[in-house]
């Protein structure tokens, strides 16, 4: 059986890191006798330039028919003043495919603590899975643009909170069985609903999983003072966006962090959590590891190839240990050097 992967390189460093991930996936596919077909499509700013829309119809049909989607990143200063922004394509693809569950793992591997900006004793043993709700909240509410007054509505329904909370509890059972639900229940109505629904679900279906609630402001502080206290962090769309960039640097760099965005059928979109990094684009400096690890998540979650995924993760660890690292981690290797080293380590 051939698996089809929609390949959307996007903008800025997107094509650099996406092609790294693709090379590693192709290499591991050879090793495990997997038949894969990549279908490249325009997305983001590159798609605006080619077609006038960040998520053109042809890309939609390629994504609809694919078993999984591999994405680089979108956006950049070129399109900042544009009427339609590249980021709109990202919001549309997440909504179209119902990708409500965004998994963002952040781990400080043993021996890697020196890459963290935090003290070794604080960074060590950090192993957090951020589960970010991706189809609701302020990202999708009614938006009123304006030069004098503007507004962005945040809405959540019980159903939306419950389905993402269920993913968090189920996933926690395969880890350290602890969920920290992050909200702003001291101010926001959506957060009070969030807290009620998460609490009720834990009592009814997941009493074996420990649940704690944390306000988002103190969570931001505790993430950098006691990161190893946390297992699964469950949160809404915008808080998850912000906390995941913060958490990513505990491991050393945002360039290391992968993500999977899944729907009810586990069809998914896989991308590093970082953006198009316009400040380093086109210089061969981008760390490809976040994209490569997103490729591992693709193999695991959408293609069911757990061993191939683990093989990539081990190759990445060995590569970092060997010192072939990009400048964000204090090294001097290029994107391509790291990609070749991971392929060799496979
Ligand atoms: P960014 O994540 O692109 O960059 C933030 C900082 O991290 C920069 O200094 C950058 O050089 C560094 N960085 C990012 N990825 C790196 C990598 N792989 N290796 C080494 N260093 C890396 O965030 P930004 O500058 O705020 O956003 C730039 C553009 O990207 C914006 O248009 C934004 O909307 C877009 N964006 C897209 C996505 C996405 O496609 N999923 C995610 C975030 C931001
Ligand atoms: C991310 C990005 C996106 C988000 C932007 C580019 C729309 O920051 O994937 O983390 O806010 O979700
Ligand atoms: Mn983000």
Cβ 88 under 6 angstroms from ligand 1 = no
pLDDT mean over 22-35: 98
State how far the Cα of 90 lies from the Cα of 134, in Å rounded to an integer. Answer: 11
| CA–centroid distance, residue 139 to ligand 2 (Å) | 10
Q: What is the pLDDT of residues 109-127, one digit of tens each?
A: 888 899 999 999 999 999 9
State how far the Cα of 168 lies from the Cα of 60, in Å rounded to an integer. Answer: 29
User: So what's the pLDDT on residue 57?
Assistant: 98
State the pTM of this model.
0.98
User: So what's the pLDDT on residue 265?
Assistant: 87
Nearest CA to ligand 1 atom 37: 275
| CA–centroid distance, residue 245 to ligand 3 (Å) | 6
User: So what's the pLDDT on residue 153?
Assistant: 98
Q: What is the pLDDT of residues 220-235, one digit of tens each?
A: 999 999 999 999 999 9
pLDDT mean over 159-183: 98
- Could you tell me if 84 and 53 are in contact, meaning their C-beta atoms sit under 8 angstroms apart? yes
Nearest CA to ligand 2 atom 11: 241
Q: Per residue, what are the HEC states of 89-157?
A: HHHHHHHHCCCCEEEEEEECCCCCHHHCCCCHHHHCCCEEEEEEECCCHHHCCCEECCCCCCEECCCCC
Q: What is the pLDDT of residues 58-110, one digit of tens each?
A: 999 999 999 999 999 999 999 998 889 999 999 999 999 999 999 999 999 88
């Amino acid at each position: 059986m051939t698996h089809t992967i929609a390949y959307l390189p996007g903008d800025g460093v997107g094509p650099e890191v996406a092609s790294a991930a693709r090379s590693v996936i192709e290499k591991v596919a050879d090793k495990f006798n997997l038949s894969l077909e990549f279908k490249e499509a325009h997305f983001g700013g590159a798609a605006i330039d080619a077609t006038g829309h960040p998520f053109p119809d042809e890309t939609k049909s390629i994504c609809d028919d694919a078993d999984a989607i591999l994405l680089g990143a979108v956006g950049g200063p070129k399109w900042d003043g544009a009427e339609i922004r590249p980021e709109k394509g990202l919001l549309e693809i997440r909504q179209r495919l119902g990708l409500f569950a965004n998994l963002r793992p952040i781990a400080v591997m043993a021996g890697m603590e020196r890459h963290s900006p935090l003290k070794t004793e604080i960074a060590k043993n950090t192993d957090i899975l951020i589960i970010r709700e991706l189809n609701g909240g302020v990202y999708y509410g009614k938006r009123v643009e304006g030069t004098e007054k503007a507004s962005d509505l945040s809405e959540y329904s019980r159903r939306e909170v419950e389905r993402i909370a269920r993913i968090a509890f189920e996933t926690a059972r395969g880890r350290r069985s602890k969920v920290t639900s992050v909200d702003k229940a001291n101010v926001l109505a959506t957060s009070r609903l969030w807290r009620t629904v998460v609490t009720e679900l834990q009592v009814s279906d997941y009493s074996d999983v420990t649940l704690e609630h944390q306000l988002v402001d103190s969570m931001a502080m505790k993430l950098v003072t006691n990161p190893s206290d946390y297992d699964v962090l469950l949160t809404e769309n915008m808080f998850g966006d912000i906390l995941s960039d913060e958490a990513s640097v505990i491991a050393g760099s945002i360039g290391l962090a992968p993500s999977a965005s899944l729907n009810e059928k586990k069809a998914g979109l896989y991308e590093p959590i970082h953006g198009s990094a316009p400040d380093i684009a086109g210089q061969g400096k981008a760390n490809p590891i976040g994209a490569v690890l997103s490729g591992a998540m693709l193999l695991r979650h959408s293609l069911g190839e757990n061993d191939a995924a683990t093989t990539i993760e081990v190759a990445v660890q060995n590569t970092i240990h060997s010192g072939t690292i990009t400048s964000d981690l204090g090294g001097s290797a290029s994107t391509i050097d790291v990609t070749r080293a991971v392929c060799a380590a496979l």
